[in-house]
Structure 1
Amino acid sequence: MIEAMRVYVRWVERVNTVVGTVVMYGIFAMIFVLGWSIASKQVALPALWTLDISQFLMVAYFLLGGGYSLQQDGHVRMDLLWGMLPQRKQSWVDTLTVFCMIFYIGVLLYGGIGSTIYSIEYQERGFSAWRPLMWPIKVTMCVGIVLMLLQAFAMLFRDILRISGRGMSG
Structure 2
Amino acid sequence: MKRWIDLATRIDNINKAAAKVAQLAVLLMLSLGLWNVVGRYLGVAIGNNLSSNGLIEGQWYFFDLIFLLGMGWTLQRQGHVRVDVLQSYWGGRQRERNELFGTLFLLLPFAIAVMALSIEPALLSIAINEASPDPNGLPRYLVKVFIPLGFFLLVLQGIAEAIRSYTKVQGQSKTDERRHKT
What's the TM-score, normalizing by structure 2?
A: 0.85
Aligned residues: 165
| Residues 116 and 148 in structure 2, CA contact (< 8 A), matched pair in contact too | no
Letter in 1 for 2:33: L
In the alignment, which of 79, 82, 97 is matched to residue 92 of structure 1? 97
d(CA) in 1 for partners of 2:86, 2:21: 35
Q: Distance in 2 between matches of 1:13 and 1:81?
A: 28
What's 1:53 paired with?
58
Deviation per CA, 1:59-86: give whole Å up to 9, x if none. Answer: 0001101110000000000010112212
1:80 aligns with 2:90: no
SS of the residue corresponding to residue 49 of structure 1 reads: helix
Separation (CA, whole Å) in 1 of partners of 2:79 and 2:67: 12
**Structure 1: runs of 5+ lacking an equivalent:** none
- The residue that corresponds to 1:120 in the other structure is 126
Q: Counterparts of 1:50 and 1:9 in 2: how far apart (Å)?
A: 38
* Counterpart among 96, 107, 132 of residue 138 in structure 2: 132
Distance in 2 between residues matched to 1:71 and 1:111, nearest whole Å: 24
1:9 CA drift (Å) = 0.5
> Which amino acid is 2:73 matched to?
Y
Determine the structure 2 residue equivalent to 1:24.
Answer: 23
1:143 aligns with 2:142: no
Structure 2: gaps spanning 5 or more residues: 44-48, 173-182
| Ranges of 4+ aligned residues in structure 1 off by more than 3 Å | none
Considering only aligned residues, what root-mean-square deviation do their CA atoms show, in Å?
1.4
> Which of 134, 156, 166 lines up with 1:160 in the alignment?
166
| C-alpha distance in structure 2 between counterparts of 1:49 and 1:18, whole Å | 27
Q: Tell me, yes or no, if the aligned pair for 1:66 and 1:148 is still in contact at 8 Å.
A: yes
TM-score w.r.t. structure 1 length? Answer: 0.91
Structure with the greater alpha carbon radius of gyration: 2
Q: Give the letter aligned to residue 78 of structure 1.
A: V
3-state SS of 1:131 partner: coil
Aligned mates of 1:143, 1:53 — CA distance in 2: 19
